[in-house]
């Protein structure tokens, strides 16, 4: 009985619950063309996988993710007493969040970039995610299962262990990372979106990467753009009004 009220079960399922609630909000907002980066017609025509298959793929990925989360929690050796006595001061949690964000970004950048550079890995594994040419919210975690484990789930495990955060703190961090990942794929440029104010790595930035012309740049995700800047894969973009309503993200300069 204790297990079902434990931090371990919460870290398994709270981020999944957050995923469907937050992406559901965007699905409610998406019918309006006013703030969309892609028209609904483009979403239907350009994407190479049905929403039904995306739904099944995401649920399967989340089942794997939840299992690995439980294993990671068990490996950490934290019990309820240790979690309750851990340092949860604002400064400590902020430091752990920052370290986890940097680790998460670093792992994802290099694995993600290599998935594009290696033709076999791209063709057979990472191309699943790029079947979504016009991104939408609940497709954020649509990946080949191997891609999901190596690129996302292991990134989370590394961030958890290296940051030294407690299981309880990780519930907050993984929920935050889940929301940020959804936001990057939501396809909506809402004027009041705080993520667009706080992060240069945002919806339009990642939309460039999903475009055919931008698939070899803007690999960084989900928080910072530092690795793209440092390693020369950063490409600036402009956001322009689209004929018929909404916006579109365009690469600001021709790629070499």
| Mean pLDDT score, 29-34 | 83
167-185 vs 203-210: helix crossing angle, rounded to 10: 60
Task: Name the least confident of 31-35, 55-59, 86-90, 104-108.
Answer: 86-90
More confident: 66 or 32: 66
| Mean pLDDT score, 232-249 | 93
Give start and end residues of each alpha helix (H) in the chain. Answer: 7-29, 40-46, 51-76, 80-85, 90-117, 119-124, 145-147, 154-163, 167-185, 194-198, 203-210, 226-231
pLDDT of residue 7: 85
Average pLDDT of the chain, as a whole number: 91
Is residue 164's pLDDT more than 70? yes
Q: How far apart are alpha carbons 223 and 221 in whole angstroms?
A: 6
Band the pLDDT of 6: cuts 50, 70, 90: confident
Give the C-alpha distances (Å, rounded to integers) separating 147 from 65, 114, 115: 12, 11, 9
241 forms beta bridges with 247
| Mean pLDDT score, 75-96 | 75
Is residue 1's pLDDT more than 50? no
pLDDT of residue 85: 56
36 three-state secondary structure: strand
pTM of the model: 0.92
pLDDT in tens, 94-129: 999 999 999 999 999 999 999 999 999 999 999 999
Task: Name the least confident of 26-40, 66-80, 234-248.
Answer: 66-80
């Amino acid at each position: 009985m204790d297990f079902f009220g434990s931090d371990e079960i919460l870290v398994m399922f709270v981020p999944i619950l957050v995923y469907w609630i937050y992406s559901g909000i965007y699905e409610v907002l998406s019918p309006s063309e006013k703030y969309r980066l892609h028209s609904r017609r483009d979403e239907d025509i350009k994407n190479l996988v049905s929403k039904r298959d995306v739904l099944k793929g995401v649920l399967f990925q989340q089942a794997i993710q939840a299992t690995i989360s439980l294993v990671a929690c068990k490996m950490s050796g934290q019990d309820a007493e240790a979690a309750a006595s851990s340092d949860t001061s604002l400064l400590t949690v902020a430091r752990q969040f920052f370290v986890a964000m940097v680790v998460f970004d670093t792992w994802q950048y290099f694995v993600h970039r290599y998935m594009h550079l290696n033709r076999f890995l791209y063709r057979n594994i990472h191309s699943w995610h790029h079947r979504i040419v016009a991104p939408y919210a609940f497709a954020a975690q649509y990946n080949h299962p191997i891609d999901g484990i190596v690129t996302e789930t292991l990134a989370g495990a590394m961030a958890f262990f290296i940051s030294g955060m407690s299981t309880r703190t990780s519930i907050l961090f993984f929920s935050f990372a889940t929301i940020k990942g959804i936001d990057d794929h939501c396809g909506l440029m809402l004027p009041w979106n705080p993520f667009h104010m706080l992060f240069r790595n945002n919806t339009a930035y990642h939309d460039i990467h999903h475009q055919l012309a931008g698939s070899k740049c803007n690999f960084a995700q989900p928080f910072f753009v530092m690795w793209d800047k440092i390693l020369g894969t950063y490409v600036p973009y402009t956001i322009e009004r689209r004929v018929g309503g909404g916006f579109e993200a365009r690469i600001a300069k021709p790629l070499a």
